[in-house]
C-alpha cells in the first residue's frame, strides 16, 4: 500500500512539475542594460519581472511581485566578485525558456535534470581577487529561490520506496 502511495505521489509530482512558478528578478545594477550586458548567460530576450537587490539573497521579500508561470525549468545565475574579502554580487533568476533565446548557440542548454555548476577564476589584474559564478536549473515550483536546489520529489519518493522495501 505504501509503495502505491509513493508511486502515486511521484506521478502527481511529475504532472504538476510540467508547469511551475519561478522567481523572475535581477540585481538592480543590471537594470540599465539587462538585455545587452556581457555578463551572465548570453542571448537574453526578456527582462525579468523585477529589478531589486533582494534578488541577490532572500527572495521572500519580493516573492509576490516576482513570481511568473513557467513551462520549462527555472534558472538562477549568480556572480560574486571577491576583491580581497569585499564582495560584489550580481544575480539573475527567471523562467529559462522565457528569459533566454534557446534557439541561439550562445545560450547554454538547460540540463534534463536539476543541476548546478560553479566556476571560480582568479583575476590577474587584482591581487587576492576572484570571480565565482553559479548557475542552477530546476523544475519545481519556486525552486530558484535559494542558494541550493531542493531534492526533487521523484528522488525523495524513490528513496522512501527503497527504505520501505528494506524493512
- Note down pLDDT in tens along the chain; length 167 residues: 545 444 444 444 544 445 799 999 999 999 999 999 888 888 999 999 999 999 999 898 999 999 999 999 999 999 999 887 888 899 999 999 999 999 999 998 888 889 999 999 888 887 788 999 999 999 999 999 875 444 344 444 444 554 545 56
CA-closest candidate to residue 23, choices 106, 123, 140, 108: 140
Task: Provide the whole-model pTM.
Answer: 0.74
CA 39 – CA 130 distance, rounded (Å) = 15
CB 91 within 8 A of CB 84: no
**DSSP 8-state assignment for residue 100:** B
Amino acid at each position: 500500500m505504501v509503495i502505491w502511495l509513493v508511486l502515486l505521489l511521484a506521478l502527481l509530482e511529475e504532472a504538476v512539475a510540467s508547469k511551475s512558478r519561478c522567481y523572475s528578478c535581477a540585481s538592480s545594477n543590471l537594470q540599465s542594460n539587462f538585455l545587452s550586458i556581457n555578463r551572465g548567460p548570453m542571448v537574453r530576450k526578456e527582462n525579468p519581472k523585477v529589478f531589486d537587490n533582494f534578488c541577490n539573497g532572500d527572495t521572500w521579500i519580493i516573492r509576490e511581485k516576482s513570481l511568473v508561470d513557467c513551462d520549462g525549468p527555472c534558472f538562477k545565475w549568480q556572480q560574486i566578485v571577491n576583491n580581497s574579502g569585499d564582495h560584489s554580487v550580481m544575480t539573475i533568476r527567471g523562467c529559462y525558456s522565457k528569459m533566454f533565446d534557446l534557439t541561439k548557440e550562445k545560450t547554454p542548454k538547460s540540463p534534463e535534470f536539476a543541476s548546478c555548476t560553479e566556476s571560480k577564476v582568479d583575476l590577474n589584474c587584482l591581487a587576492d581577487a576572484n570571480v565565482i559564478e553559479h548557475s542552477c536549473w530546476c523544475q519545481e515550483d519556486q525552486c530558484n529561490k535559494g542558494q541550493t536546489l531542493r531534492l526533487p520529489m521523484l528522488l525523495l519518493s524513490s528513496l522512501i520506496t527503497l527504505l520501505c522495501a528494506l524493512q
